[in-house]
């Protein structure tokens, strides 16, 4: 099945499907877990780099349906060739006219246009992907693929609603969240946006994935990484609202303003106080190596059933205490990420626990933790990619020092 010719056919088909296929490709391309077999991993990484654009007539059709036949009068200019394509849409540069602009002046904007019928294709796309991943029994049963697919289906449905995304963008840009924090920039949203066309302020930063370590000073790398890790903790323990997609293209670095610009809130989700109290208690227990409390809170949250064998318990608790290492009181600070550091050794140890957990796991993780773990691990992975050195314990104390349970 996994001949080069067949892999090319699969990549071509999945790339045209966009939606779920590209989303899973993005998800897999930013993970460092080595869970998937190399052949499957290779397919999704190639899909990630193969996004297709809409033909011009189709883009025109979507814009006319969303904004009316005279949609172009809202703009003094509109670049009909997109500068980016993602899993469910593509992005165009434009200038919003002064008569439509919230500032009363012509304003550069980014126009995100959703691929037509993408919301209706999620079910069938995920069906094809499930078939691909289960053919030949590539995946271990401990992955609980059906639960992963259910979670991804719900997340994709949310991302297809640009009105929902706009509301979260406005929330994060408000003084209640990041509006008063000069380290971050959240673009404003045009009120004329619809459920499948989102018009937002254009920002000038460069993706932190493209602004690689060679183009950044040590101060830049440390600042970017520290801010994204701090933002991750704030989203969890202060806002209880998290933009859960750590794809590097969602975070831009503007060297002129020295701001991290946040441009994609489609994957945002909220958490209940009850869940976050439990997850905070688990992470705090892991940070002080209280293994009994780790098991207790893992049972309460649903990570464990209480019927697991000792091998599974040890693997689960070890992975949690390793993950919490940057926040432990005894961990030397500042903490170094990247190759040849303590963090590289920690990730290798966590990876060694995965086959044990896949073999002995009795229940899938709580659905809330799929996106939460993706963002937290993605934040650490970014710091590692940038080779950052950060006082992670100071960030932990700053954000969660005043956390109140109940």
Q: What residues are annotated to the active site?
A: 245
- Those residues with Cβ within 8 angstroms of residue 18's Cβ, 6 or more apart along the chain or in another chain: 51, 52, 87, 88, 115, 118, 121
Question: What secondary structure letter does DSSP report for 401?
Answer: T
Q: Is there a contact between 66 and 85 (Cβ–Cβ < 8 Å)?
A: no
How would you label 290-307 residue by residue, b for 16+ Cβ within 10 Å and e otherwise? beebbbebbeebbbbeee
Task: Write the DSSP string, 181-242.
Answer: -TTEE---B-TT--SSEEEEE----EETTTS-GGGS-HHHHHHHHHHHHHHHHHIIIIISEE
Distances (CA, A) of 179 to 167, 171, 235: 14, 9, 14
* Element spanning 332, H or E: none
* DSSP 3-state percent helix, strand, coil across the chain (nearest 5): 55, 10, 35
- Those residues whose C-beta lies under 8 Å from the C-beta of residue 217, and which sit 6 or more positions away, are none
- Tell me how far the alpha carbon of residue 169 is from its chain's centroid: 15
Rama region for 279: left / alpha / beta (φ>0; ψ in -120 to 50; rest)? alpha
- Tokens 């706009």 correspond to what residue? 166
- Residue given tokens 């318990």 in the structure block: 313
Facing residues of 77 across strands?
A: 95
DSSP alpha helices (H): ranges in 263-306? 273-287, 291-301
Kindly tell me the sign of the dihedral angle through the C-alpha atoms of 255, 256, 258, 260: negative
The CA-atom distances, in angstroms, between 348 and each of 211, 251, 280, 340, 363 are 26, 26, 24, 11, 24
- What is the spatial distance between Cα 146 and Cα 127, in angstroms, rounded to a whole number? 10
Under 8 Å between Cβ of 169 and 187: yes
What is the distance between the alpha carbons of residues 179 and 187, in angstroms, rounded to a whole number?
A: 10
> How many CB atoms neighbour CB 311 within 10 A?
12
């Amino acid at each position: 099945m996994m001949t080069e010719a067949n892999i090319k056919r699969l990549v071509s088909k999945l790339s045209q499907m966009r939606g779920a296929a590209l989303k899973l490709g993005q998800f897999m391309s930013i993970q460092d877990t080595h869970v998937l077999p190399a052949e499957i991993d290779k397919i999704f990484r190639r899909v990630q780099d193969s996004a297709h654009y809409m033909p011009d007539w189709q883009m025109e059709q979507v814009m006319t349906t969303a904004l009316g036949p005279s949609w172009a009068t809202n703009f003094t200019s509109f670049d009909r060739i997109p500068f980016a394509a993602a899993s469910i849409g593509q992005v165009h540069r434009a200038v919003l006219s002064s008569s439509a602009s919230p500032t009363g002046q012509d304003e550069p904007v980014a126009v995100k246009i959703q691929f037509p019928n993408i919301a209706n294709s999620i079910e069938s796309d995920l069906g094809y992907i499930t078939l691909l991943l289960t053919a030949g029994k590539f995946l271990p049963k401990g992955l609980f693929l059906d639960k992963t697919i259910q979670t991804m289906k719900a997340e994709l449905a949310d991302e297809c609603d640009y009105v929902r995304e706009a509301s979260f963008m406005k929330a994060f840009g408000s003084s209640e969240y990041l509006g008063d924090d000069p380290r971050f920039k959240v673009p404003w949203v045009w009120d004329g946006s619809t459920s499948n066309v989102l018009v937002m302020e254009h920002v000038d930063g460069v993706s932190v994935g493209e602004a690689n370590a060679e183009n950044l000073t040590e101060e830049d790398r440390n600042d970017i990484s520290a801010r994204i890790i701090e933002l991750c903790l704030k989203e969890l323990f202060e806002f209880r609202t998290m933009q859960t997609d750590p794809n590097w293209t969602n975070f831009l670095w503007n060297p002129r303003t020295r701001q991290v610009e946040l441009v994609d809130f489609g994957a945002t989700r909220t958490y209940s106080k009850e869940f976050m109290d439990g997850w905070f208690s688990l992470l705090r227990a892991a940070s002080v190596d209280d293994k009994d409390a780790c098991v207790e809170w893992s049972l309460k949250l649903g990570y464990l059933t209480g019927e697991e064998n000792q091998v599974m318990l040890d693997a689960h608790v070890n992975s949690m205490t390793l993950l919490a290492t940057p926040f432990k009181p005894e961990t030397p600070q500042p903490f170094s990420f990247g190759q040849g550091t303590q963090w590289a050794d920690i990730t290798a140890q966590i990876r060694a626990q995965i086959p044990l957990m896949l073999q002995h796991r009795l229940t899938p993780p709580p659905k809330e933790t799929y996106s939460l773990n993706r963002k937290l691990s993605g934040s650490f992975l970014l710091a590692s990619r940038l080779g950052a050195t950060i006082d992670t314990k100071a960030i932990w104390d700053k954000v969660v020092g005043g956390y109140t349970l109940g």
